[in-house]
Amino acid sequence: MRSKIMIGLAVLIFGALNYGIYEKEQILDKGEILLLELAPVDPRSLMQGDYMNLRYAVERAEPVKAQMEGQQKRGYMVIKPDADNVAKFVRFHAGEELQAGERLLRFHKEYSRITIVPDSFLFQEGHAKFYENAKYGVFKFDENDKRLLVGLAGEDRKLIVVPDSDSRALAHP
């Protein structure tokens, strides 16, 4: 009896994990791309081994600061892409119907500051030089406003692609 329960629990756990992976793959395959401008920060303080701390310009935007008073500790802000597909703050969400093109972005408030997660970007060791001039976080949103940070983009708003050094090493022995 005990082994049947353990097998049943293992099947449930693996099923839940696989469903989570499936959801993320669907966002990657079919998600709508939206850019979030990164806030300017001294790059020397951003690099810490194999990750970069991220701050978003929308967190520091004047309209956000003006409307932040009285906001809950956690919630959603409404963002909308501009002509360049860069997200701009519209308002804090209070349960109202979203207009065309609007998306929800989850935030949490720490002291007197808004933070959007993820607030770090992991990359392979030694690749910091490719990302140090990043200007945008590249997100993919699904129809339910679930999102994934899929990379960083430069000033040209194009995804930064790191050259595959391993394949060059194999090609030139």
**Measured CA distances, 16 to 8, 9, 10, 19, 21 (Å):** 12, 11, 10, 5, 9
Q: What is the pTM of this model?
A: 0.76
- Tell me the residue range of the domain where 16 lies: 1-30
**Do 49 and 98 have their domain in common?**
yes
The structural domain count of the chain equals 2
Taking the CA atoms of 157, 159, 165 and 167 in sequence, report the sign of the dihedral they define.
negative
16, 22, 23, 27: CA torsion to nearest 10: 160
131 part of a folded domain? yes
pLDDT in tens, the chain (173 residues): 888 888 888 899 988 898 888 888 888 788 788 888 887 554 444 445 577 888 898 888 877 777 777 677 888 989 999 999 999 999 988 889 999 899 999 888 887 788 888 888 888 777 878 888 889 999 999 888 889 999 999 999 999 988 876 444 333 33
Residue 169, domain member (yes or no)? no
Measured CA to CA, the distance from residue 170 to residue 68 in angstroms comes to: 53
User: Whole-angstrom Cα distance, residue 158 to residue 107?
Assistant: 25
36 with 9, same domain: the answer is: no
- Residue 173 belongs to some domain of the structure: no
Distance between CA 41 and CA 54 in Å, rounded?
A: 9
Are 13 and 38 in the same domain? no
Q: How many residues does the chain have?
A: 173
For residues 155 and 107, state if they share a domain. Answer: yes
